[in-house]
Amino acid sequence: MNSLRFALRLLRRDWRAGELRLLAIAVVIAVASVTSVGFFTDRIERAMARQASEVLAADLRVESNQPLPGFLLQEAERRQLAHATTLSFPSVILHRDSTQLVQVKGVSDTYPLRGKMRVRDSVTGADRVADTVPASGEAWLEERLLPLLGVAIGDQIKVGKRSFRVSRIIVYEPDRSANLFQLAPRLLVPLGDIEETGLLGPASRVRHYLLIAGPPSEMSDYRYWVEDQNIGGLQVEDIRSARPELRSALDQGGRFLRLAAATAILLCMVAVALSSRRFVERQSDSSALLRCLGASRRQVTRIFILRLLSLGLIASLIGVFTGLGVQTLLIRLIGHWFTSQIPAPTAWPLVSGLITGILVLIGFSLPSIIRLGEVPPLRVFRRHLDAPPISYRLFLMAALLSLSILLVWQIGNDEMALRLISGLLAGLTILLLISRLLVFVLAPLRHLTAGSWRYGLASLSRNPATTTMQLTGFGLGFTVLLLLAIVRVDLLSSWQGALPDDSPNQFLINIQPDEVEAVRDLLAQGGIMTNGLFPMIRGRLVSINGDPVSRDDYDNPRAQRLATRDFNISHATQPQRDNKIVSGRWWSESQRNESWFSVELGLAETLGIPLGTELEFEVAGSRVMGRVENLRSVEWDSFNVNFFVIGTPGLLVQQPATYITSFYLPAEKRQVLHSLIQRFPSITALDVTALMTQVRSIMDRGALAVESVFLFTLAAGLIVLYTGIQASHELKVQETAVLRTLGVKRSILLLSTLLEFALLGGLAGLISAALASAISYSLANAVFNLPWELNISMWLAALLGGAVCVGIAGTLASRSLLNTPPLVTMRKA
């Protein structure tokens, strides 16, 4: 006998008979959710990253203080990547008798590769997108240069030996925010004209940039290729390494989306497990008959496994294409939110959908299905002979393995996956224990009640296995749904709330120590609140525990960059409000003279700096040494002033420092800033509004995407509800018919069914609320780093919602049994 052909033939018959529909629908939804979420998140994340790439005006930026070797550009051309070249240096420009220090930027024709420049043709004109770069002989400049130089549109200015006509005012320059700490106002000229200025001498402080854009995989390849060239003094940056605020927002958004996708998978796993159990019950006769007719145990097992895998493959394919269709619809709905075109889908979510479908079936269905081979053939005579009970060890191992693989893979964050898995395992254990307890308590209780209560409670206590399975299924399903609801409502708002409307949008840097008091007074008089003025010291990490720090010690490109760059170090007696000490302790006032450092967690992990490490920095020619006393997490997307490394005042107060502050400047108070700059010309004011807008848009789109994913999870939740209710259907058929034959009224049975399911649903809802709260607390603290609050109304909603939804759905599903004459039901049985 050809088992595959036979299995396929049986599969076709099963499908027609509706035997496998429930299982198939669960797989289709699982795969459709994963695929659509996969496609959607993949495309949205890429679109978000592309939009965020505006901060670099490219996907990748290669930077050096030496002219960049020509082969870097040639390689980019060979790989057919979009490219642009820019350079930037400080210089004094001249207009009549006025001079002004500016940051000159020369750009090639293709600049910018990501984002658009916005310009105005006159001081009062409307701003518009610039489709070109300045023509030869023309210069565009920042508006604040006009009064400083006394220059107007159309005037000539002199940059070195070359004259330029001022033709436009720069309103927005995409990559301006990647260089927040540039001191001088911008002057933009064509790259081709720079040579004639004669300013590119050996002593000039020129930074050379090669901007690259292209598909993400090509970008990684090109990046690795550049890093393999080992060119000294070269820095390669993408958006994640360029601005911690954007990196943080992008990462957080991605975490939310992946968690949302994982919840849909989890629900489908519960649905598959529930429907598999039902399938096994319904196929036991078929298995016994096959064995009776001469099929071996192995043959029967093989036939059922092949049926399952064939079903998995077909259902996964349907799911994959459903997912593809759904994500197209979603992209159409929100595509216009993005300034750039949303990238085309890649094939990976298709493959990932198929793998998910098969993995879900193997983990949550196979352990049940293989029991079918064990159904005793004698069942043909004695219907009570079932397959041996499922091996919980095997089931747990398979489920845990499949769950772990899928969650770690889909979430892409080991800690989040681990917390979710342990939370669910703990939840499963609690649900199993409570189910047992429920059956134990209800058994004597039913004798104390009468009527509908008695039948309802009896039904729950009479079938402990079914009650346990239903309570566990509903409980896990509700937990996942509530978890997503918490993420969707509480954590998302918390994330968006982390960047309120009055978040700092201005930085003042280069404040000299003797200007600090005056600046503080001026801002206070203008009604502008700051979080304080912080000392900022430039220092380079030279040794860790006495070992010199070298770029070659690290494989990670970020670590290599950090090992060679200057840090902005500060000293303080108190940590910043948005900093959280994750290990060690902050120093007390009496310890201010100790030689201690506080290091940002991400930096410590990247460079391998545990608590107690001795760090040595070179600051203005001298060495500063101290021990790492604590590690901090920092909310980079808060836009507050933050530092990777903070020392005790005693360690750093003698070092040369300038001061920095950030604050929210409403439009109507811009005058305060102008007066401050006029009084202290050496201070540089940086407007980060554009960068904040980028972060906000990432948050908004992230939130919308999570909302969309919630719909899939909801659909999966409905399947769990249906399969859970169906789990006791077979038992109810017989019981209802017998009770009705014995004269129990239809209304009493209807009410007892309602009570039975409402009790199950309410209890599952309550337990789920506790589980979801615990898991979300753990995730909020350890993964999202967001404040968490106990949501009592959610507990109430879960209790009532569970009771009402399961109660009504269960009653509706059982109505057909009550409407069918008992004789018909019993004949069928």
Partner 1 sequence: MLQPSSNQHPVTASGLVKFVETAAGRIDILQRIDLEVSPGEAVAILGASGSGKSTLLGLLAGLDQASSGEVRLFDTPLSGLDEDGRAALRAGKVGFVFQSFQLLSGMTALENVMLPLELAGHQDPEQAAKAALSQAGLALRLHHYPSQLSGGEQQRVALARAFAPDPRILFADEPTANLDAHTGERVADLLFKLQEQSQTVLILVTHDEMLAGRCDRRLYLRDGMLESEA
Q: Which is nearer to partner 1, 295 or 780 (CB)?
A: 295
Q: Which is nearer to partner 1, 105 or 307 (CB)?
A: 307
Q: What is the largest CA-CA distance in the chain?
A: 111
Binding flag, residue 537, partner 1 (CB under 8 A): no
d(CA 734, CA 746): 15
CB of 384 to partner 1, least distance (A): 13
Q: Which of 4, 6, 582, 800 binds partner 1 (CB under 8 A)?
A: 6
CB of 379 to partner 1, least distance (A): 9
Give the range of 296-304, 494-502, 653-661, 794-802 binding partner 1 by CB under 8 A: 296-304
The two structure tokens encoding residue 190: 């064509």
- Cα torsion 324, 337, 691, 258 to 10°: value is -30
Q: Which is nearer to partner 1, 200 or 380 (CB)?
A: 380
Amino acid code (one letter) for 89: F
Binding flag, residue 353, partner 1 (CB under 8 A): no
Q: Which of 4, 8, 9, 454 binds partner 1 (CB under 8 A)?
A: 9
Give the range of 15-23, 158-166, 606-614, 731-739 binding partner 1 by CB under 8 A: 15-23
Q: Which is nearer to partner 1, 315 or 406 (CB)?
A: 315
**Cβ contacts of residue 169 below 8 Å, gap of 6+?**
119, 120, 121, 122, 123, 140, 141, 142, 143, 146, 153
Residue in 255, 288, 223 with CA at minimum distance from that of residue 81: 223
CB of 26 to partner 1, least distance (A): 19
Four-residue CA torsion sign, 26, 28, 29, 34: positive
Binding flag, residue 826, partner 1 (CB under 8 A): no
d(CA 746, CA 228): 79
Q: Which is nearer to partner 1, 349 or 377 (CB)?
A: 377
CB of 383 to partner 1, least distance (A): 8
CB of 722 to partner 1, least distance (A): 20
CB of 357 to partner 1, least distance (A): 23
Give the range of 1-9, 308-316, 537-545, 775-783 binding partner 1 by CB under 8 A: 1-9
Amino acid code (one letter) for 149: L
DSSP-derived secondary structure letter, 654: T
Q: Which is nearer to partner 1, 291 or 740 (CB)?
A: 291
CB of 396 to partner 1, least distance (A): 27
Binding flag, residue 816, partner 1 (CB under 8 A): no
Burial (Cβ within 10 Å: 0-12, 13-18, ≥19) of residue 394: middle
CB of 436 to partner 1, least distance (A): 23
CB of 773 to partner 1, least distance (A): 44
Paired with 164 in beta bridges are 157
CB of 4 to partner 1, least distance (A): 12
Binding flags for partner 1, 357-396, as an x/- string (CB under 8 A): -------------------xxx-xxx--------------
d(CA 66, CA 206): 8
CB of 382 to partner 1, least distance (A): 8
Q: Which is nearer to partner 1, 182 or 299 (CB)?
A: 299
Q: Which of 70, 233, 294, 621 binds partner 1 (CB under 8 A)?
A: 294
H-helix or E-strand spanning residue 244: helix 244-292
CA distances from 148 to 98, 155, 172, 181, 317 (A): 8, 14, 19, 20, 66
Amino acid code (one letter) for 793: S
Binding flags for partner 1, 254-293, as an x/- string (CB under 8 A): -------------------------------xx--xxxxx
CB atoms within 10 A of CB 742: 8
CB of 388 to partner 1, least distance (A): 13
The pairing of strands 622-634 and 128-130 is unpaired
Q: Which of 65, 220, 296, 747 binds partner 1 (CB under 8 A)?
A: 296
Binding flags for partner 1, 16-45, as an x/- string (CB under 8 A): xxxx--------------------------
B/e letters for 380-391, b = 16+ CB within 10 Å, e = fewer, are: eeeeeeebeebe
Q: Please count the residues of this chain forming the interface with partner 1, following the rule CB under 8 A.
A: 29
CA distances from 375 to 3, 10, 287, 296 (A): 19, 18, 6, 11
Residues in 298-317 at the binding interface with partner 1, rule: CB under 8 A: 298-299
Instruction: Identify the residue whose tokens are 């059982």.
Output: 814
The two structure tokens encoding residue 235: 């820095």
CA distances from 257 to 41, 251, 265 (A): 7, 10, 13
CB of 318 to partner 1, least distance (A): 20
Q: Which of 22, 24, 236, 295 binds partner 1 (CB under 8 A)?
A: 295
Q: Which is nearer to partner 1, 295 or 417 (CB)?
A: 295
CB of 465 to partner 1, least distance (A): 21
**Cβ contacts of residue 476 below 8 Å, gap of 6+?**
266, 270, 424, 427, 428, 431, 768
Q: Which is nearer to partner 1, 290 or 599 (CB)?
A: 290
Instruction: Identify the residue whose tokens are 């789109």.
Output: 701
Q: Which is nearer to partner 1, 217 or 819 (CB)?
A: 819
Paired with 539 in beta bridges are 567
Q: Are 495 and 255 in contact (CB under 8 A)?
A: no
Amino acid code (one letter) for 281: E
Q: Which is nearer to partner 1, 78 or 382 (CB)?
A: 382
CB of 350 to partner 1, least distance (A): 32
d(CA 407, CA 486): 19
d(CA 237, CA 354): 35
Q: Which is nearer to partner 1, 71 or 381 (CB)?
A: 381
Binding flag, residue 701, partner 1 (CB under 8 A): no
Q: Are 722 and 809 in contact (CB under 8 A)?
A: yes
d(CA 238, CA 660): 26
Q: Are 438 and 763 in contact (CB under 8 A)?
A: yes
List residues near partner 1 by CB under 8 A.
1, 6, 9, 13-14, 16-19, 285-286, 289-299, 376-378, 380-382, 828
